[in-house]
Structure 1
Amino acid sequence: MAGVMDSVNQRTQLVGQNRLELLLFRLGGQQLYGINVFKVKEVLQCPQLNAIPGRSSVVRGVAHIRGGTLPIMDMNLAIGKRALPDIESCFVIITEYNRTAQGFLVRSVERIVNMNWGDIHPPPKGAGKEHYLTAVTQVDGQLVEIIDVEKILAEVSPIREEVSAGVIQDGIAERAVQRHVLIVDDSTIARKQIQRVVEGMGIRTTLKKDGAEALAYLKSLLKEGKDPYGELIMIICDIEMPEMDGYTFTAEVRNNPELKNLHIILHTSLSGVFNEAMVRKVGADDFLAKFHPDELARRVNDRVLAMTGESLLPAVQPGA
């Protein structure tokens, strides 16, 4: 299994090509599931787990790995199914999301496949609102379900979503009254988290679920004779998305003379193995790792104040 992961950190050549690699695994049955290799730090046979008091039922225990202690979550339980039996024969996928590491217990790990984001599609509309899918695809004629890990983590270990007192600049909503923020993310949970922060500042939002949908929206503004720069404060965009990823979306915006000046923040849970140089390569204005409401609010503050010619810092007095 170590050989499968040997080159995880050498796969950045996929970035900017609207491609990704999926690590395929199985849970309780024959259904194939996938996770982006960029999120994966290691795959190993399930180590000895130690119980901890008061833990979520989804957390089967904690493991001591590489000098650290990590929670190990049963992914089958997390998506509403039965607990995986015989965990000694199972595998653990160590991942990094939102600046934290955690392990997911799975029955077996298959292989890594190279995919185009254009072949990754949103879940079927008939899947309902309570599913745990962020996307689906096919590999060798078999359906692969890509799980919304951010939804799992939000349920198992909810994070603070409120902005701290004093972070939001007084009068920021009045300065932004004619503009709104475009939020682009395939995770329903992530979209809502960002939306709550921005709308909590008194600023309107528009939500899109992937880069292709967001690009079509921007082009529709142009078709209607509207100036996207006059409409939008900024775009807050995820990187991993079906149809069109955040890198490709950013590159498409920068290559369009009528859109190229839009302010784009790439907002992603790809924090540990993510190469920030790629953000500069595709021309994004900023990068922000998910999800810290204060940092996000500050970015919105800064952008609004920059657009209105204001400064966050008090003026320096003569002789100071």
Structure 2
Amino acid sequence: MNERREILLESGTNELEIVEFLIGDNQFAINVMKVREILNPVPITKVPHSHPNIEGIIELRGEVLPIIDMAKALGFPPSDNPQQDKFIVAEFNQQKVVFHVHNVTRIHRISWKQIEKPSQMYQGLDGQIIGVVKLEGKMILLLDFEKMVVDINPETGINVQQVKKLGKRERSDKKIVVAEDSPLLRKLLHDTLAEAGYVFVEFFENGEDALRYLQSITKEGKPIEQEVQLVITDIEMPQMDGHHLTRRIREDEQLNKLPVVIFSSLITDDLRHKGDQVGATAQVSKPEIGELVKIIDKHIL
């Protein structure tokens, strides 16, 4: 994993690779695109009065990184076989974090269509499950690592103050389509875009639903530019991810002029090329909502 396996997947195929890991006997997963490396545990420095889910800090190649105890964060008992424990070093939302897990088992290559949205009945875990993968007779839970980090440090989340700093905004009559699977982020985007003057925003919880909506407009014979002026999409979404959505928009003669802005925790120097390959107009890393509004202003005419 150190060389990150050359980021094997071609952009826009609607596939992903997940690292399966264990907490006790329970299977969870993280998107390979978030993973920098996997380590055997090293000594941890405890930090006084830190959040209960923070085990401490480690130094890795000159960087000081926080360690999140995944068992504690998910409400499971500590490891009963510590020699198998692993540290998953991850990067997203412009920060690096280490997740302490009980074992790392294997990597799976799957389609976003194989990921089911968890129903409210078994959501549990304080909304920390973003998808369920049924694979080889078992169920693997895909976790919302961004929410886990924001719960520990709310300052790493989207902040409407960034938009207020841009000054008083006039109400715009332009219409924006947003594909974002997180209910919390849909609410935050609704509020912050309204603060920025963009009140006509249509939200969808995955790329497939957003694409179907856009295509329904052109099927009615309406020019898309009259009905929708810009698309904002997350990358990680069940059914259809943001890279595939962008690619499908660019391949559609009636939609391909639409500006598409990818707004994701996965916008890093290593991964930006993936959005470029599928034709994204711009890419903004969460939680930089102020930067997102500036880009909307630039591309909405």
Distance 1:142 1:166, change over 3 A: closer
Q: CA deviation at 1:148?
A: 0.7
Over 6 Å off, 4+ runs = none
Report the equivalent of 1:31: 26
Report the equivalent of 1:198: 193
Length-normalised TM-score, structure 2? 0.89
Distance 1:288 1:124, change over 3 A: same
Distance 1:138 1:248, change over 3 A: same
Would you say the 8 A contact 2:117–2:132 is kept in 1?
yes
Residue 54 of structure 1 pairs with residue 52 of structure 2 = no
Would you say the 8 A contact 1:136–1:143 is kept in 2?
yes
Correspondences of 1:1-320 after superposition (within 5 Å): 5-28=1-24, 30-84=25-79, 89-128=84-123, 130-159=126-155, 161-164=159-162, 167-168=165-166, 170-173=168-171, 176-177=172-173, 179-204=174-199, 205-224=201-220, 226-272=222-268, 274-304=270-300, 307=301
| The 10-residue stretch of structure 1 (163-172 or 192-201) with the greater mean CA deviation from structure 2 | 163-172
SS in 2 for 1:127: coil
Q: CA deviation at 1:293?
A: 2.2
Would you say the 8 A contact 2:169–2:197 is kept in 1?
no
- Measured in 1, the distance between the counterparts of 2:17 and 2:291 equals 30
Distance 1:122 1:274, change over 3 A: farther
Would you say the 8 A contact 2:163–2:196 is kept in 1?
no
SS in 2 for 1:260: coil
Q: CA deviation at 1:257?
A: 1.9
Q: CA deviation at 1:224?
A: 4.9
Would you say the 8 A contact 2:263–2:285 is kept in 1?
yes
Larger radius of gyration: 1
Q: CA deviation at 1:223?
A: 4.2
SS in 2 for 1:164: helix
- Measured in 2, the distance between the counterparts of 1:97 and 1:228 equals 33
- Measured in 1, the distance between the counterparts of 2:165 and 2:281 equals 21
Would you say the 8 A contact 1:25–1:33 is kept in 2?
yes
Name the amino acid aligned to 1:108. Answer: N
Distance 1:127 1:233, change over 3 A: farther
Name the amino acid aligned to 2:162. Answer: S
SS in 2 for 1:126: coil
Q: CA deviation at 1:170?
A: 4.3
| The 10-residue stretch of structure 1 (224-233 or 190-199) with the greater mean CA deviation from structure 2 | 224-233
Name the amino acid aligned to 1:301. Answer: D
- Measured in 2, the distance between the counterparts of 1:269 and 1:37 equals 13
- Measured in 2, the distance between the counterparts of 1:109 and 1:60 equals 19
Would you say the 8 A contact 2:2–2:36 is kept in 1?
no
- Measured in 1, the distance between the counterparts of 2:267 and 2:246 equals 19
RMSD across aligned C-alpha pairs, in angstroms?
2.3
- Measured in 2, the distance between the counterparts of 1:69 and 1:259 equals 45
SS in 2 for 1:236: strand
Q: CA deviation at 1:10?
A: 0.4
Superposed CA deviations along residues 142-194 of structure 1, whole A, max 9, x for unmatched, are: 11110011111110111261233764364442xx22x3322212233333333
- Measured in 2, the distance between the counterparts of 1:172 and 1:219 equals 30
Unmatched segments (≥5 aa) in structure 1 = 308-320
Would you say the 8 A contact 2:267–2:283 is kept in 1?
no
Would you say the 8 A contact 1:121–1:242 is kept in 2?
yes
Would you say the 8 A contact 1:91–1:105 is kept in 2?
yes
- Measured in 1, the distance between the counterparts of 2:167 and 2:221 equals 32
Q: CA deviation at 1:86?
A: 6.5
Identity of aligned residues (%): 27
Distance 1:232 1:241, change over 3 A: same
- Measured in 1, the distance between the counterparts of 2:197 and 2:122 equals 33
Length-normalised TM-score, structure 1? 0.85
Distance 1:56 1:86, change over 3 A: farther
